Amino acid sequence: MQLKIRQTCLFFIDAVLINIAYYLAYYLRFGGKITAFYFETYFTSFLMVTVVTLISFSFFNLYRSLWRYASTSELVNLFLATTSSTAIEIIFIYVFKLGAPRSIILIAWMLIILLVGGTRFSYRILRNNKKNIDAFTHHKARTRLMIIGAGDACTVLLREIENLRSDAYSVVVALDDDPNKKNMTINNIPIHYGINNLVEVAEQKHIDEIIIAIPSASQARISEIMDLCRETSCTIKTLPSLEDMLDGKISFKLIRDKKNITSNERLWLSSPHMSDEGLEIKYVQEAFDTNWIAPLGNNVNMFEKELAEKVGSQYAAALVSGTEAIHLALKAAGVGQGDIVFCQSLTFSATANPIIYQNAIPVFIDSDYETWNMDPLALEQAFIKYPEAKAVLVVHLYGLSADMDKIVSICKKYNSILIEDAAESLGTTYKGRYTGTFGEYGIFSFNGNKIITTSGGGMLISNNEERIKKVQFWATQSRDVARHYQHSELGFNYRMSNIVAGIGRGQLQVLDQRVEKKRYIFDYYKKNLSSLEGIEFMPHNSWNEPNFWLTCITLSGKIKPLDIMDALERENIESRPVWKPMHLQPFFAKYDFIGDGVAQNLFETGVCLPSDTKMTDGDLNRVVTTIKKLWGEV
Ligand SMILES: Cc1ncc(COP(=O)(O)O)c(C=O)c1O
């Protein structure tokens, strides 16, 4: 039966059920008797009541698809639809003085939910049991398959199914988004156009099982298709990963069912997480509406202002990346040819590279176990060796704050300029003050993996207005104030775009939420993993309120970081080693290092666990279970 016809039937069934509900309501209200009053009010009230209720049902999408019968969301919609229509009816009865008593309306409200909900549930149960009944009556039904994607993967799959020589499956249709394949066939299977029509096609063709065979599709597209598949009552399966496909490993046996894919979706270390309210798109739209599609505009100005206000700094310059923010911070600090810069060794190379851009000389400083960041004792030793050092680049790694009181006082003592690389620590506070605001300059990164992201971007903050203005000037090609293009200084094209800044403004509003979730993730891991022998969690000092950008652990027992990373990868879960220190990097090996191996030890024993703010408890449990298995604890 066509979907439209079935929907119409359902519409009439509901109309009948609504009337039955009212009949019963009268029956119950008047002690098992139907009075003349019922017949009097029938034509004046019930027609209106039926129409209002059915309109309300349509409004709440109860006729959208027959497959959604008796899902939780459908029951919620039924409740809302019936409640809304009942409210409207009570108003109608008052306004038009229609005579039906309110008690009847309320009893009917309950009965409609019971009758309509009950019918839908029964339909669902019957439908789901159809196969069992068929098997019981010895008519073993073939599973009717629909394949999403009519490309190479589909061809291989059809061949595999044919090779099975089994009566169990019958491939009915393939769906594809390529208009050129419309009305064509693939191995004699008809191709229907439009993957987005899958709910209707599944309904029309009585599909039992859907196989998603588009291994090259993006994660986002697969999620969209999965959402559509869930609107059907079909079993959903997907092909193995793209790598398996390329390796020629694809086989029908390897197909994963939906239960596995939903639980086997890739878990990321830290991926972009836009606000639920769509705040970012609102600001981006503003940029489009005003045509400020440029590296300047209201979003750029406001993002600078809002971020500076949030962290308690006076001025900010929005730039294309955190790396370029470090570059211009060094330049603003007057670091140039041959100057020595003390740089934390345990960090990402983006901290150290700009020192080289400025033709300066990095000297790498070790970390301590208490903070994982720059060791104040090693810094003091470095100043004894190089008292002329121009600047200090301290990092707040993984959202943990360095011991700023000590570092600030050492920098003051040696009259050296302090720059904070707070790329990973936006939202972290040290003794109640935001990291990034202790030094002359602080920088943040909005790279895709950071706690808030603009896809890519950075911010330089300072309380020195003149220096920030200068940075903004350098970042826009150092254009002198002149009608013609005149440049008295070397320029850079480092300014943040107004579109990107729009994303940043929206993201900034959810920063506190993100920190809260990151803390939850840290606590979850700590609660579930800290009893395992040899595991230690990154330090959480009393004076440090981290943003917990990534939860990291170190291992000292028989299980090594690689064991954990391999085990997680096998479960499609991303994890990473702790940063490899700069003094161990081939490119930086020739520069001096002050310390005694803490950074190296943290690198060799550390693992960063997935800390994505979109992770559910189920996802966290997947990580925990995988790790616990290595200790034989599951
Ligand atoms: C510690 C650290 N510093 C600097 C950067 C550079 O930031 P960006 O990627 O925005 O250039 C990053 C991140 O990428 C980082 O983790």
Quick check: helix, strand or coil at residue 577? Answer: strand
Confidence category of residue 104, pLDDT binned at 50, 70, 90 = confident
Q: Which ligand 1 atom lies nearest to the CA of residue 395? A: 1
Q: Would you say the CB of residue 341 lies under 6 angstroms from ligand 1?
A: no
What are the pLDDT digits (tens) for 172-188? 999 999 888 888 888 88
512-630: CATH topology: Aspartate Aminotransferase, domain 1 (3.90.1150)
- Give the residue among 470, 456, 460 at the shortest CA–CA distance from 501: 456
CA pair distance 299, 38, nearest whole angstrom: 65
Average pLDDT, the chain: 88
CATH 3.40.50.720 residue window(s) in the chain: 143-264
Q: Would you say the CB of residue 423 lies under 6 angstroms from ligand 1?
A: yes
For ligand 1, atom 14, name the residue with the nearest CA: 447
Q: Would you say the CB of residue 350 lies under 6 angstroms from ligand 1?
A: yes
List, in order, residues 6 or more apart from 597 with CB less than 8 Å away. 366
Burial of 531 from C-beta contacts in 10 A (0-12 / 13-18 / 19+): exposed
Pocket test for ligand 1, best of 424, 453, 503, 580 (most atoms within 8 A of CB): 424
279-508: CATH topology: Aspartate Aminotransferase; domain 2 (3.40.640)
Q: Which ligand 1 atom lies nearest to the CA of residue 323? A: 11
Residue predicted with more confidence, 602 or 62:
602
pLDDT of 375 reads 98
Q: Would you say the CB of residue 504 lies under 6 angstroms from ligand 1?
A: no
Task: Tell me the C-alpha to C-alpha distance, in Å, between residue 379 and each of 219, 367, 416.
Answer: 45, 10, 12
Q: Would you say the CB of residue 395 lies under 6 angstroms from ligand 1?
A: yes
Vertex 455 angle, CA 449 and 459, to 5°: 90
pLDDT of 286 reads 95
CA pair distance 39, 20, nearest whole angstrom: 14
8 Å CB contact between 422 and 396: yes
Pocket test for ligand 1, best of 348, 507, 550, 611 (most atoms within 8 A of CB): 348
Indicate whether this model's pTM tops 0.75: no
What are the pLDDT digits (tens) for 6-40? 778 888 888 899 888 888 888 888 777 776 766 77
Q: Would you say the CB of residue 209 lies under 6 angstroms from ligand 1?
A: no
Give yes or no for residue 127 having a pLDDT over 90.
no
Q: Which ligand 1 atom lies nearest to the CA of residue 324? A: 11
Residues 184, 187, 188, 194, CA torsion sign: negative
Q: By percentage, how much of the chain surpasses pLDDT 70? A: 89
- C-alpha of residue 514 to centroid of ligand 1, in Å: 18
CATH number of 143-264: 3.40.50.720
pLDDT of 259 reads 41
As a whole number of Å, the CA-based R_g of the chain is 32
Largest CA distance in the chain: 105
CATH 3.40.640.10 residue window(s) in the chain: 279-508
CATH 3.90.1150.10 residue window(s) in the chain: 512-630
- C-alpha of residue 450 to centroid of ligand 1, in Å: 9
Q: Would you say the CB of residue 575 lies under 6 angstroms from ligand 1?
A: no
Listed ranges 90-94, 168-172, 354-358; the one with the highest mean pLDDT = 354-358
What are the pLDDT digits (tens) for 480-505? 999 999 999 999 999 999 999 999 99
